[in-house]
Structure 1
Amino acid sequence: MSDTAVSSSSQPSTASTDQAPPTLAKVVHVINGEHYSGAERVQDLLGKCLPKFGYDASFVCVKPGKFAEARSASTSPIHDLPMKHKFDLWQAKRLADLVKQENFAVIHAHTPRTALIGMGASHLTGVPFVYHVHSPTSRDSTRPWHNWMNQRIEQMSIARAVQLVCVSNSLAGHMRTLGVKEDRITVVHNGVPQVDHVVDRELPSGTWTLGTVALFRPRKGLEVLLEAMAQLRDRGHMIRLRAVGPFETPEYEAGIHALVEKLNLGDAIDWVGFARDVNAQFTQMDLFVLPSLFGEGLPMVVLESMAAGTPVVATDVEGVTEAIVDGESGIIAKPNDPEHLAQRIEAVLTGREDWREIRKTALKRHADLFSDVAMARGVASVYDKILQK
C-alpha cells in the first residue's frame, strides 16, 4: 500500500462459493470502531449481506478498537485510519487517497466524526457520500456540551451527503426538524438474522431470569432497571438479572455497583461482560429488558431478542415502538420510571400479559419486517438510486 494510503488491520476474505464476484460495486463504510454495540452490529451485517445486492463493502476505522476483533458476520477488509481528534481533517485526504486507490463508488459514514472526513473525501474525489443516522446526536449522551458539539459537526458534514439513511421513522422526523429535505432521507429499519432453530421453550416457573444487553452508560437506564428489580423483589417476585455487555467507563461501573449494594441486589445479578455470541445469551433469559432513557434509533438488541424468541420489555424511546406493538409483540414501559417498569414486568410475571403469545408474535414480526437481508436490500436501494443503477 502506498505511503498516502491507510494500513490494513485484517486480511481480505479467502475465496469461497459465497464470495462476491469481482464486478460488484465497491463501497467503503467509515466507522468509529472502538466499540462493538448496536451500530457496529448494523455495520457488520451490512458487510455480510450487501454482496447479495451487488455491493462489496470495506471498512475504515477512525478509532480502531473492538470492532475488528469482535465482528462475526462479515470478513470484509478493514483499514485503520486513526484520527487524533474530532477535527483531524488531514485524514480526509488520506481517506480520499484510499477511495481512489480502491476505486470505491460510495463513501458511507456512520458517526459525526466519520461524516466530517467522509464529506472531505467526497469533495476531493467526487465520489457520492451517504450518511447513516443511528440515533439522535443531540440526545446521544448525558453530556450537553458533547451532544451540542457532535450535532454541529454532523449538521455541517451532512450538508454534502446525497442521502441520509435513517434507521427509524422517528429519526427521519428528527432529521426533518433539522432542515434536511424529504428527498434526501430514506428510512431503512435495522435488521438482524433469523435464528435457524429457535428452541421451543416452556413458560418459566420459579425464578425468572431478566436480561439486559448494552454498552452500559447513563442513557441506557440501568439504574432504572435495578430500582424496578428491587421493587419486584420486595413484592415477593423471584427474579434475577443477567447483565451482558461492558461499561463505558470505570467511573460509571463503580457507581452502578454502589447502587447494587445499596439496593441489596448483589446476590441477584450475574455480570457477564462482553459476549461475542449474543444469541446464546438470549436463550438464558426469560425476559429481555431495555430500560433506555433516550437516544436510541432502532435498538438492535430488541430485534435480536425478538429473533431469539425472548419476549421484550422496553421503554418508549425513539424507534422502539416501530418494532414492538405493546401487549402483542412485546411490552412498552415509560422511560425513567422505575415503578412503571416494575408494573410492566410484573404483568408478564403474573400472566396478565401472555408470555407465550408475545413470543410467538415477536418471532413472526421479526421474520416479516426486521431481517438483516431486508436491511441490506434497503441500503442497496439507496446506492442504486444515487449511482443510477
Structure 2
Amino acid sequence: MTGRRRKVLAVHPGAELFGSDRMLRESVAGLTAADVDVVVALPGQGPLVAELTAAGASVRIIPMFVLRKKLLKPRGWPTLLATFARGLIAGRRLLRRHRPDAVYVSTIILPQWPLLARLHRIRSISHVHEAERSGNRWINRLLYLPHLASQRVLVNSRFSLETIRWAFSPLVRRCEIVYNGVPSPRHPKPPREPLEDVLRVLYMGRLSPRKGVDLVLDAAELLQQQGQKVKVTLLGTTFTGYEWYEEQLRSQASAGRSEVEFAGFHPEVWPFLADADVLVVPSRGDEPFGNTAVEGILAQRPVVASDSSGLREAAGGYSTTRLVRTDDADAIADALAEIAESWPVIIDDLPASRARALERHAPAVYRRAVAAACCAPDRARRPEEKDL
C-alpha cells in the first residue's frame, strides 16, 4: 500500500439526514481528514448524498440488501431473497472494482457486508447505532451475528454495549464504545428572557408511535387546561408505511386547543431550536443514544427526555434536562410546567450545560476515533477501554 492513499468503502442503508445518517457524515469527515480515500455505497438517492460529497467522499448508488424486520415475516421472504441476491452481486462487483483496504459498515442492518469483506480478505469495521433491549432476543441475535465477521465493532453507548452483551455476548470482545460526535452552532441564540405568553415546544425526529410524538400533543393539551398556552412544532416526517400515524397526529392536533405546526423535514435543525423554548424527546421505545437531546443542550435549550435506554446517557447529568417516566404525558407536562416556573434559574445554567456537552460530544474526537478504528491495526481490547 506504499505510495498510495488508504481507501475505505463505507456502506450505509439510507440517504436521509436523521441520526445514523448524520453520524455517517461525521465518520466520512473523519476519514477524509485523515487523508483516506472514501467511497460510500448507498441504496438510493437523498439529501445525504450532497453532504457526503461535500465531505470529500465519492458516492455509489447500488442495489443493497437491508435487513428490515418486516422481511423476517413469511410474507416478506420473497423480497428478502430477491434483494439478498441483488445485494450480493452488486457488493462483490463494488469490492472488486475499488479494492478498499477496509469496509466501514454503518448500522447492523447491512449483514452481507462483513461477510463479503471477510470473503475478499478485507478487514471490516461495524458501527452499531441500534439497540432494542425490549425487542425479541433471537431477532437481536440474528441482527448481530453477521458482525462477528468484522475485526472491530464500534458502539455508540454503554446501553448499546449491554444490549449486545444480553443478546449476543460473543460480539462484546470486539466492541469499543465511541460516543456520538454532535455538531453545534457556533453562537446559539440565547433563550427568551423573560418567558412570556406561549410556551414554544419542539419535537425533532421521525413521526412514529415508538418515538412518542402523540405524548407531546397530550402534554400540551394538559398544560392548556392548566392555563399555560402552548405552541408545538413537529420537525420530521414518517417512515414509508406510517402515513396513518401522521394523519392520527393531525386529527389529534385539530381536536386540541394548542397551536401545532407540522414543519416537515429540514436538514438544518438549528433555526428551529433557536425559535423554541424547550425540546422534548419522548421516545417510548429503546434509543441506543440520543443525538437529538444533545443537540438541544448544545443549542442552549432545556430538554425533557424519557428516562430510558441510551437517552439516560445522552441527557442525564445536566441541570437543564429533565428525565421523565416513559410513555407518560402527565410527566412530560409536569416537567414542562416546572421548567417554565424555574425559567430564570434554568437559563442561567444553560451555558454550563452546553460547555459540558461540547466536551463530551466534540465531533473532532468522534472523527479521530472512527478514523483510527478504520486505519489502525487491530489488537485485543476490552470494550470499556476507550469510552469517548
TM-score (norm 2): 0.84
Structure 1 match to 2:24: 43
Structure 2 match to 1:317: 308
**SS of equivalent to 1:180:** helix
Structure 2 match to 1:108: 104
The verdict on how the C-alpha distance between 1:191 and 1:148 changes in structure 2, with shifts beyond 3 A counting, is same
Q: Which amino acid aligns with 1:188?
A: V
Q: For 2:160, which of 171, 186, 208 is the aligned residue?
A: 171
Q: For 2:143, which of 139, 142, 154 is the aligned residue?
A: 154
Structure 1 match to 2:187: 197
Count of residue pairs brought into register by the alignment = 358
Structure 2 match to 1:259: 252
Q: What stretches of structure 1 of length at least 5 have no aligned partner?
A: 1-21
1:6-85 equivalent positions in 2, closer than 5 A:
23-68=4-49, 74-83=55-64, 85=79
For the Cα contact (< 8 Å) 2:108–2:130, is it kept in 1? no
For the Cα contact (< 8 Å) 2:182–2:362, is it kept in 1? yes
Once residues 148 and 226 of structure 1 are traced to their aligned partners in structure 2, the CA distance between those partners, rounded to angstroms, is 35
Offset of residue 120 of structure 1: 3.0
Once residues 183 and 159 of structure 1 are traced to their aligned partners in structure 2, the CA distance between those partners, rounded to angstroms, is 10
Offset of residue 45 of structure 1: 1.7
For the Cα contact (< 8 Å) 1:309–1:360, is it kept in 2? yes
Offset of residue 243 of structure 1: 1.1
Offset of residue 285 of structure 1: 0.8
**SS of equivalent to 2:219:** helix
TM-score (norm 1): 0.84
Q: What stretches of structure 2 of length at least 5 have no aligned partner?
A: 66-78, 380-388
For the Cα contact (< 8 Å) 2:32–2:55, is it kept in 1? no
Identity of aligned residues (%): 18
Offset of residue 163 of structure 1: 1.6
Encode CA deviations 1:318-354: one digit per residue, 9 max, x unaligned: 2222232355142211110111111111110111783
Encode CA deviations 1:247-272: one digit per residue, 9 max, x unaligned: 2221111121222233344xx11111
**SS of equivalent to 1:354:** helix
Once residues 115 and 171 of structure 2 are traced to their aligned partners in structure 1, the CA distance between those partners, rounded to angstroms, is 21
For the Cα contact (< 8 Å) 1:93–1:120, is it kept in 2? no
Structure 2 match to 1:12: none
Once residues 351 and 272 of structure 1 are traced to their aligned partners in structure 2, the CA distance between those partners, rounded to angstroms, is 28
Q: For 1:95, which of 85, 91, 95 is the aligned residue?
A: 91
For the Cα contact (< 8 Å) 1:134–1:296, is it kept in 2? no
Q: For 1:210, which of 197, 201, 204 is the aligned residue?
A: 201
Q: Which amino acid aligns with 1:129?
A: S
Encode CA deviations 1:260-294: one digit per residue, 9 max, x unaligned: 233344xx111110112111221111111110112
Once residues 313 and 36 of structure 2 are traced to their aligned partners in structure 1, the CA distance between those partners, rounded to angstroms, is 28
Q: For 2:358, which of 355, 367, 370 is the aligned residue?
A: 367
For the Cα contact (< 8 Å) 1:291–1:335, is it kept in 2? yes
Offset of residue 241 of structure 1: 0.8
For the Cα contact (< 8 Å) 1:130–1:163, is it kept in 2? yes
The verdict on how the C-alpha distance between 1:67 and 1:307 changes in structure 2, with shifts beyond 3 A counting, is same
* 25-34 or 209-218: bigger deviation: 25-34
**SS of equivalent to 2:232:** strand
Once residues 113 and 203 of structure 2 are traced to their aligned partners in structure 1, the CA distance between those partners, rounded to angstroms, is 34
For the Cα contact (< 8 Å) 1:41–1:71, is it kept in 2? no
Q: For 2:130, which of 132, 135, 150 is the aligned residue?
A: 135
Encode CA deviations 1:190-240: one digit per residue, 9 max, x unaligned: 112232222334433221211011011111101111111111111111221
Offset of residue 181 of structure 1: 4.5
The verdict on how the C-alpha distance between 1:215 and 1:386 changes in structure 2, with shifts beyond 3 A counting, is farther
Structure 1 match to 2:382: none
Q: Which amino acid aligns with 1:180?
A: P
**SS of equivalent to 1:198:** coil
**SS of equivalent to 1:226:** helix
Structure 2 match to 1:270: 261
Encode CA deviations 1:79-118: one digit per residue, 9 max, x unaligned: 111237444144234323322322312212223431x220
Q: How much is the aligned-residue C-alpha RMSD, in angstroms?
A: 2.5
